[in-house]
Amino acid sequence: MPSTSEGGPVAVQAHRQGAVGSVHDSVRDREISVEQEHLDRVYRRLEEKIHEAEFLMQDAARRGQVGTPGALAERDAQVFRAGVHLNRLNNEFEDFLFGRIDLLTGKDGKKGPDGAYTAVEPAEGAVRPDSTADIAETLHIGRIGVLDQDYTPLVIDWRAPAAAPFYRSTPVDPGRVVRRRVIRSKGRQVLGVEDDLMRPELTAYLDGDELPVIGDGALMAALGQARSHTMRDIVASIQAEQDLVIRAPAASVTYVEGGPGTGKTAVALHRAAYLLYQDRRRYAGGILIVSPTPLLVAYTEGVLPSLGEEGQVAIRAIGSLVEGSEATLYDSPSVARAKGSSRMLRVLRKAARGALELNDPPARLRVVAFGRRLELEARELDGIRRSALGGTAPVNLLRPRARKLLLDALWEQSGAAGRHSDPELAAELRSSFDEDITSEDAFIAFLDAWWPELTPAAVLDAMADERRLGRWARRILNPGEVRKVARSLKREGRSVHDIALLDELQAVLGAPARPRRKRELDPLDQLTGLEELMPMREESQRERAERLAQERVEYAHVIVDEAQDLTPMQWRMVGRRGRHATWTVVGDPAQSSWSDPDEAAEARDEALGTRPRRRFELTVNYRNPAEIAELAGKVLALAMPGSVSPKAVRSTGVEPRFTVVEDTLGATVRDEAARLLERVEGTVGVVVAMQRREEARRWLAGLGDRVVALGSLEAKGLEYDATVVVSPAEIADESPAGLRVLYVALTRATQQLTVVSADRDEPDAAGVPDLLRD
């Protein structure tokens, strides 16, 4: 039986056990059958709704054959509405009822739109002087809301205000809630119930019988479960401090800090679902979640669909934010530092201007106009280029200006300027002069070569030349940095940090004017009259998503996960996607792998602008047992002296295991991974220094797909039943932020942790490496 630490959401357990004691199985069975009855009723109602939707579809189709314009418009609207209904009902048919709250009478007798009473606090006299009370209202909570024929709520949507007490109520501040129940079901069958008592001091009655309490609480049941390679939603056991973040108003910036395992990623995902529920018109297709790695994207991708939100939120790895890019390569720490630094902005601006001269531009311009040969020499051309480039306007967009300056210089040379005193005639003459020249092939060819249209990729490729980069980065990067950055750009494929540079270059260069693409045929376009009847269809979600992508992807809400890791250049890239957005930013400074947090904070503040921030802190570690959290705390003390570890919510009694390499590192790691595979049901992660990634994959070959090898930076945000952390010293020495990266590695396990030490770790007799000793 797991023990629990004190305070916060955990306190529920302590209260409950003291108050209730053991419960006989027959009571459990009876309670399961009570919930089964309710679920049966819900399904009957859902079936009725599905039949209704089907009938509407058929009826609408029949009406379509009648053919008057009014009937057609009505049919279209009905088909659309019924289709949406059917889809929702069918999609969310599985496991959508998961919670129940039993409430005291409220202060006022008002009902909200979901059919539930709105009061949060109990009415005076709801609790009798002898500490007994009657349950006045029972609400079931699920993934969508379902009303009975008479509009009484059978299920309340988890995001509706009436569902908030299910998450917010605690024994310290219970409100009207007496008992909170989590219902486990699969399809149409209720499998179990887990209860928490919010007012253990009360004897409460429901329909005359004493309220029974079953199980050890849903949170503990959820935390003890084996992990798979995909994250589960936490909708049934969101804790009060997490709920405050999820339901925080969308205005400005919601800023959340919390240590490892405090549910930041889970909370961010549930917040996206909540915002969609609150204001679907505003947010559908317009929420971006920025994640540090493609691995974390894949791990979290299933959560929103399980909350009924399929395809509405773009979850993108930071290396895939630019359309068409999917970078997974990592630069060495020193190259990453240079590329991520805001100094790079100045280098890119110079590169974008310098790149105009990449392909030996012509040294002179010769044209014939009004029967005269006109010529501009290299010196004049340089002067024109310099004056066209003044200021910070995007280089590609300056081409028309440069063209105009060339024409001015040629006009001057032609001597035609003084020919007419009448301004109208003079203007006409000038315009025919310009036309003459600009239609000449020689001029067009000159302009293309002298002011070529630049692409971000071409400029970045040009920076791979060390001499050239040295020129562009003079007095900005030091010669060592220039050498390393140039070398890294020569390699095949882009790194994660290159993507932010490409995005910046896109802004510095400006998009060349592109011919508009013809819109693809949208099948819903054929439903005439739909726009008027369904204002939400003004723009379909696909159209909106496409439009946003074409307009350089601006979003209505941007959620940044693992925000502590964004470099200044990455903040600029993300900032461009949310210039008018509201934001949710979640992170943990203690897990930052960026070597200069102050510089990153400055860039973050610039991206978020002056919008006011609402700060939240998450304080409870739901992932690691206390034994693992305590060990990780030793590294935290070295990495960020004085910072406080989040409180672990449970303990397993299994201490971390320490081993020292015996034969070869590979054989030891493989043995330890195999050992853990036998001890846990779910996944095992082996975390190594980045340079050992490939090697470690070979060590584990043949052990099956429950085990994976990860570089330390790839472990961000992920979790496993058990982990093997290989050579803490090697991970810590890999970069200036190495100790914080090691802290991340040590906090990935939900049950067991093994640390393998090599020579460099200086293990003591018990195998404990130097870095993890007291």
Ligand X SMILES: Nc1ncnc2c1ncn2[C@@H]1O[C@H](COP(=O)(O)OP(=O)(O)OP(=O)(O)O)[C@@H](O)[C@H]1O
Q: How far is the CB of 263 from ligand X (least distance, A)?
A: 3
Q: 254 among the known binding-site residues?
A: no
Rounded to whole angstroms, how far apart are CA atoms 58 and 722? 54
Closer to ligand X by Cβ: residue 194 or 730 = 194
Nearest C-alpha neighbor of 588 from the set 126, 255, 180, 121: 255
Q: 258 among the known binding-site residues?
A: yes
Neighbours of 131 (CB within 10 A): 11
- Using CB under 6 A as the criterion, which residues of the chain lie in contact with ligand X when the complex forms? 219, 222-223, 232, 234, 237-239, 242, 258, 260-266, 588, 591, 622-623, 717, 719, 747
Closer to ligand X by Cβ: residue 303 or 508 = 303
Q: How far is the CB of 609 from ligand X (least distance, A)?
A: 25
Closer to ligand X by Cβ: residue 171 or 263 = 263
Q: How far is the CB of 180 from ligand X (least distance, A)?
A: 13
Dihedral of CA atoms 186, 192, 197, 201 in degrees, nearest 10, equals 150
Query: Which CA distances in Å does 736 have to 593, 597, 644?
Result: 8, 11, 21
Q: 263 among the known binding-site residues?
A: yes
Q: What does the DSSP 8-state code read for residue 317? A: E
Q: How far is the CB of 562 from ligand X (least distance, A)?
A: 7
Rounded to whole angstroms, how far apart are CA atoms 271 and 258? 16
- H-assigned helices in 133-236: 164-168, 218-223
**b/e per residue, 555-572, with b = 16+ CB within 10 A?**
bbbbbbbbbbbbbbbbbb
Closer to ligand X by Cβ: residue 313 or 482 = 313
Closer to ligand X by Cβ: residue 176 or 227 = 227
Query: Which CA distances in Å does 372 have to 367, 369, 379, 381?
Result: 8, 5, 21, 19
Q: How far is the CB of 676 from ligand X (least distance, A)?
A: 18
Q: How far is CA 369 from the centre of its chain?
A: 59
- Is-contact 283 273, C-beta < 8 A? no
Q: 259 among the known binding-site residues?
A: yes
Q: How far is the CB of 626 from ligand X (least distance, A)?
A: 14
Q: What is the 3-state secondary structure (H, E, C) of 69-98?
A: HHHHHHHHHHHHHHHHHHHHHHHCCCCCEE
Nearest C-alpha neighbor of 575 from the set 567, 62, 365, 643: 567
Closer to ligand X by Cβ: residue 624 or 735 = 624
Closer to ligand X by Cβ: residue 143 or 623 = 623
- Is-contact 724 673, C-beta < 8 A? yes
- Is-contact 724 745, C-beta < 8 A? no
Closer to ligand X by Cβ: residue 741 or 768 = 741
Q: How far is CA 767 from the centre of its chain?
A: 39
Q: How far is the CB of 750 from ligand X (least distance, A)?
A: 7
- Is-contact 745 715, C-beta < 8 A? yes
Residue with tokens 């084996």: 226
Closer to ligand X by Cβ: residue 175 or 259 = 259
Q: How far is the CB of 64 from ligand X (least distance, A)?
A: 48
Q: Which two tokens stand for residue 232?
A: 């589960």
Q: How far is the CB of 495 from ligand X (least distance, A)?
A: 22
**b/e per residue, 439-449, with b = 16+ CB within 10 A?**
eeeebeebbee
Q: Which residues are part of a known binding site for ATP?
A: 258-265
Q: Which residues are part of a known binding site?
A: 258-265
